[in-house]
């Protein structure tokens, strides 16, 4: 099939999936790209099917009825629900880890125990499902502390606690189910790490892997990295924070031990492994694992790949050896998220979005929280609405293009950070 054209289904509805669909559609191997459920912008470019991506039967039924050859699963929830397993059992090739492998993202407690068991550097921690045991641990710990909901929380289940009272309240709210429902019924309490964060994305096939450009995400809603945690307000790649020598060190001390640990634990890991790293004075430490491409990091990583991505995704899905390296463009990329004011808390929806007549060169407009209304207009439908992507020979050039695109788009509650990449740009 690798030499035959395929019908490819991209599963998901966010900015990550829009970029995946665009990139896959460029492949000579793609006969057709379809999306499910997609969003307002995706449905203008691709056939979209409004299914529930948390329902494995619906996913398999769609892929079967539409004669799909290859499914790329975008979001974490269907991966953690075993969508890849269900597709494979029905003879459909799918990109992403199976349900066992997806536990690396589905349970932070599982991941922390995995890291400790395989001596992979991470913050000191404790896992708790009872308030009293957690309070005892808090009383013996040094502030500040980080309290995390163990389960999936859409990037928001993390609280940095400056006081013991704040930590106890966070633990109590999570364990009661008030904050994050079932995702918070087990919590991870860990030491606060200082340093700069960076994201390492790998495409894996067992112990074979290929690294993608290092990126840096901006999680906080406010400029200067202030305010509430979000799913991500923008990102840029590659980040000069990480030199070739540093990346080689990460591969030796983190990547290979992780893949060897998964193999030792009987997990045949295929798909994306996203390693969130904190670059501390004591060296890099793993903050988290995700088992899918990051959002918004995908929007800056994939445009920098200077070759066909589909054969690589397909080889991973089949458990075949991957190329040792991919070819990348000698460029920088930045994405700025256009959000609805009030995100990540309450925000308005259904606002008509005004778009430019055409996109400037070296830009992409990626849809996330959008839909078409009854008369075909694109309206806001989520907290993170759009992603404005710019590329250039320098990060400054990429930023200039991304922000020019931001300024050409209008909707009533439009909100964005004007300082994406500020640390790096201030070094120029």
pLDDT, one tens digit per residue, over 315-332 is 999 999 999 889 999 999
Q: Domain of 260: which CATH number?
A: 3.30.470.20
- For residues 311 and 245, membership in a common domain is answered with yes
Closest CA to 209 of 316, 54, 70: 316
pLDDT surpasses 80 at 185:
no
Judge whether residue 427 has pLDDT over 80: no
16 assigned to some structural domain: yes
Evaluate whether residue 325 is within a structural domain. Answer: no
| The pair of three-digit structure tokens given for residue 158, joined into one six-digit string | 């993390």
Q: Give yes or no for residue 415 having a pLDDT over 70.
A: yes
Mean pLDDT estimate for the chain: 92
Tokens 């740009």 sit on residue: 425
**Bridge partner residues of 276 (DSSP):** 199, 288
**263 and 304 belong to one structural domain:** yes
| pLDDT score at 183 | 63
Partners of residue 234 on adjacent β-strands: 336
Q: How far is CA 224 from CA 240, 387, 417, 419, in A?
A: 19, 19, 9, 7
pLDDT for 50-60, tens place per residue?
999 999 999 99
> Within this chain, do residues 254 and 271 fall inside the same structural domain, yes or no?
yes
Residues 337 and 369 in one domain: yes
pLDDT at 139: 80
Gyration radius (Cα) of the chain, Å: 21
User: Which of 76-85, 133-142, 197-206 is predicted most confidently?
Assistant: 76-85
Residues 311 and 218 placed together within one structural domain of the fold: yes
Whether residues 205 and 311 share a domain: the answer is yes
Task: Assess whether 284 and 308 both reside in one domain.
Answer: yes
Q: Are residues 296 and 211 part of one domain?
A: yes
Whether 201 and 187 share a structural domain: no
Q: Is 183 in the same domain as 211?
A: no
Encode pLDDT of 329-344 as tens digits.
999 999 999 999 999 9
Instruction: Confirm whether 109 is domain-assigned.
Output: no
**222 in a domain, yes or no?**
yes
**Residue 210: which domain range?**
197-318
* CATH code for the domain in which residue 412 is found: 3.90.600.10
Q: Are residues 93 and 128 in the same domain?
A: no
pTM for the full predicted model = 0.91
Domain total of the chain = 4
Q: Whose CA is closest to 116, among 246, 277, 249, 258?
A: 258
Q: Under a CB-based contact definition with an 8 Å cutoff, are residues 272 and 294 in contact?
A: no
Tally of CB atoms within 10 A around 247: 15
Instruction: Please report whether residue 327 resides in a domain.
Output: no
Q: Is the pLDDT of residue 95 over 50?
A: yes
User: Are 296 and 357 within one domain?
Assistant: no
CB-based contact 218:234 (threshold 8 Å): yes
pLDDT over 80 (residue 2): no
């Amino acid at each position: 099939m690798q030499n035959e054209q395929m019908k490819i289904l991209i599963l998901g509805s966010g900015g990550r999936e829009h970029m995946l669909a665009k990139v896959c559609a460029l492949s000579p191997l793609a006969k057709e790209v379809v999306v499910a459920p997609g969003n307002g912008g995706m449905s203008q470019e691709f056939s979209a099917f409004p299914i529930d991506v948390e329902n494995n039967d619906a996913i398999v039924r769609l892929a079967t009825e539409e004669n799909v050859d290859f499914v790329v699963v975008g979001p974490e929830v269907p991966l953690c629900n075993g969508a890849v397993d269900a597709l494979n059992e029905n003879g459909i090739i799918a990109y992403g880890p199976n349900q066992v492998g997806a536990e690396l993202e589905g349970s932070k407690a599982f991941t922390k125990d995995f890291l400790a068991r395989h001596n992979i550097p991470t913050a000191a921690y404790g896992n708790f499902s009872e308030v009293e045991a957690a309070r005892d641990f808090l009383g013996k710990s040094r502030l500040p502390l980080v309290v995390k909901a163990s389960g999936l929380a859409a990037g928001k289940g993390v609280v940095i606690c400056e006081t013991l009272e704040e930590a106890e309240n966070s633990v109590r709210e999570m364990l009661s189910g008030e904050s994050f429902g079932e995702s918070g019924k087990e919590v991870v309490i860990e030491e606060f790490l200082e340093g700069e964060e960076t994201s390492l994305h790998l495409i894996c096939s067992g112990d074979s892997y290929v690294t993608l450009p290092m990126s840096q995400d901006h999680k906080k809603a406010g400029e200067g990295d202030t305010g509430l945690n979000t799913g991500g307000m923008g990102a840029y790649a590659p980040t000069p924070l990480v030199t070739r020598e540093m990346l080689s060190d990460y591969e030796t001390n983190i990547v290979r031990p992780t893949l060897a640990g998964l193999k030792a634990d009987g997990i045949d890991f295929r798909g994306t492994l996203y390693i969130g790293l904190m670059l501390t004075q004591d060296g890099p430490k793993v903050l988290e694992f995700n088992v899918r491409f990051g959002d918004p990091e995908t929007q800056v990583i994939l445009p920098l790949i200077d070759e066909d991505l589909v054969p690589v995704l397909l080889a991973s899905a089949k458990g075949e050896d991957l190329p040792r390296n991919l070819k990348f463009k000698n460029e920088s990329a930045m994405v700025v998220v256009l959000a609805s004011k009030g995100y990540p808390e309450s925000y308005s929806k259904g606002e008509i979005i005004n778009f430019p007549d055409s996109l400037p060169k070296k830009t992409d407009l990626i849809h996330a929280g959008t839909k078409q209304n009854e008369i075909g207009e694109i309206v806001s439908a989520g907290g993170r609405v759009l992603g404005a992507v710019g590329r250039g020979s320098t990060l400054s050039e990429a930023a200039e293009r991304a922000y020019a695109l931001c300024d050409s788009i209008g909707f009533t509650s439009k909100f964005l950070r004007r300082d994406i990449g500020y640390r790096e740009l201030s070094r120029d």
